[in-house]
Structure formats: C-alpha cells, structure tokens
Amino acid sequence: MAKGSRSQIKRERNAQKDQRPSAKLSYARVSVQKACFVLDAIRGKDVQTALGIVTYSPRYASTLIEKLLKSAIANAENNNGMSADNLYVAECYANKGPTMKRIRPRAQGRAYRIEKRMSHITIVLDEKK
C-alpha cells in the first residue's frame, strides 16, 4: 500500500503518466480488423503525410481516423504547445469494444446471429528529435 496522503498519491501517479498528446475514439462502429488496415498505413509517418493517406483512403474507417488524427494534432498544439510541423504518429492501435448481437432470419425458421463489432481507436503523437 502506498504511503502518504491521497493527493500525494495522485500527484505521483500523474507524474508517471504519458505526456505525449493523444486522442481516443471509443465505441467506433467499425471492427478492429478494418480499422487496423488504415492504422497500419499511417503508423510512424509524420502528421502531414498521415493526413494525406487517410484523406484519400477509400475505406470507411479512414473518415473516423482522419477526424481523430486532427483532434490529436489540435491537442498537441493547444495543450502541449507543440508545432504541427514536428509531429509524427508514434503509436496508433485499435482495441476490441463491445459487440452488438443481432438476429438474421433464415430458411425453415432458423435464426443466424449477426455480430456488429465495435472498437476503441487511439492515436498517440510525438515530436521528432
């Protein structure tokens, strides 16, 4: 058990927190596999190149990730005082969210299950050294 007052414990925990600018989209109505196609394309790229990739990508997930990337850039500029010219996509990943179960009527009174998957998408930026 940690020693000290509650506020001291919180200060220590927040000091260990990652200071890089990030943005997270929870409960995105796209599966993890489909989101990862776009995320793999922008991982490690500078933000201008990444914005160009997601703008012209034909996938549905790219519209969500474009908005999320712009949000992460705005967070870096407004909250951390970083310049958008020096930023690159340090991390980007999609975690599995809840799945909505739906029923599809089939022949002879049967019912097949349709799973509508969701994901939590995170983008973390960093400055070039």
Q: Which residues of the chain have pLDDT under 70?
A: 1-2
Q: What is the pLDDT of residue 2?
A: 56
Q: What is the 3-state secondary structure (H, E, C) of the chain?
A: CCCCCHHHHHHHHHHCCCCCCEEEEEEECCCHHHHHHHHHHHCCCEHHHHHHHHHCCCCHHHHHHHHHHHHHHHHHHHHCCCCHHHEEEEEEEEEEEEEEEEEEECHHHCEEEEEEEEEEEEEEEEECC
Taken in order of first residue, the domains within the chain and their CATH numbers are: 21-127 (3.90.470.10)
Q: Quote the pLDDT of residue 52.
A: 96
Residue 45 has what pLDDT? 94
The string of pLDDT tens digits covering residues 33-57 is 999 999 999 999 999 999 999 999 9
Whole-model pTM: value is: 0.84
pLDDT of residue 10: 85
For residue 8, the model assigns a pLDDT of 87
